[in-house]
Structure 1
Amino acid sequence: MSAFWTLSTEQDSCALISDAGASLNYGHLTSLTDSMAVALPEKARRQLGFIALAPTPALVAVYLHALRSTRHVPLLLPPDLHTDLLASLARNYQPDWIALPGNHRGAAGYAPYWASDDGKILVRTGRTLSDPELYPDLALLLTTSGSTGSNKLVRLSYEALAENAIAISKYLNLDANDRVLRPPLAKV
């Protein structure tokens, strides 16, 4: 079994079903994910990005492209993240880009770079004190539940992320005919 971000070779199979009931097949999702190569800025170094991951085709494609390219390390955030909290996180972590639902205001110091009906990407406009080098095996950052009262991030390697997805699908005995009820995408 390959990593989920490589997407299915069965191009006509259903990949996503929106809240409105519209479906998107793997062929369209693959094309949309490939198109994110021009939507996400490229630099010589790996980049940190934030994704306020709503279940929209554009934001799911940003997430998948970030994993596939290995040039971006996304930090997944809830799509309804309050603007003040986003601004605080952006000040602390200084991501190179932020992907948001189309109706989200964004954060100071970030300018529009790409937009569609269901998502947008903002890029950092100012300089930072430093651009830390990201660990080569780092694939994804997730926030913790906050039960300790301090902000902590879970760091996942590509291998750990793929193995976790496989373990969950085996434990739940999932196959191509199953539909998963949507958990908060920032927790997956």
Structure 2
Amino acid sequence: METKKTAQKTTSKTVAKKAGKTPAKKDAAKQLKDLFEDSLKDIYWAEKALIKALPKMHKNATDKKLKAAIEKHFNETKVHVKRLEECFASIGKKAQAKKCDAMQGLLDEGKSIMEETEPGAVRDAGIVSASQKVEHYEIATYGSLAAYAKVLKEKDCLNNLLATLSEEKKCDALLTKIADTAINSKAK
């Protein structure tokens, strides 16, 4: 026989399902602070994965300006990791990475593009496209994290997040300029 508590739980799940709501995991974020910390873990993983992926992109690129942009962003990404570690320290948490499925998908797509294109301008155009998808993800993530940090009054972390957000935007603009002024025309 079903207890009243079990019946309420079943009814709540049924209502949530019918409304299109996803039931939360047991360890789901309950407060903005929890979401902030989870998001920091995701982007920390993402930046560390990017450090491994950028040398492969650099090796496969042929355009000198693109290679220089990738190298510059590789060096910036190392700083981004350090800033995230400072964020964790400023909120009294140990720096911890949690696999970021979004970044993994973007990096897998970038790898596929390199495998499915001939070396030269077409591959360079693909590398730019894949890189900009990564940049846009990072821009969205750092923008959200900065907004959370502002509300949570995490000033030290906010400053680090805003510095990284600015660099991500500059990298995206540089990639657009490189693609528009040379690579896409050569790939035509």
- Give your verdict on TM over 0.5: no
For the pair shown, the structure with the greater C-alpha radius of gyration is: 2
What range is the shorter-chain TM-score in?
under 0.3
Q: Which has the higher contact order (CA 8 A, sep 6+)?
A: 2
Question: Higher helix fraction: Structure 1 or Structure 2?
Answer: 2
TM-score by length of 1: 0.26
TM superposition score normalised by structure 2: 0.26
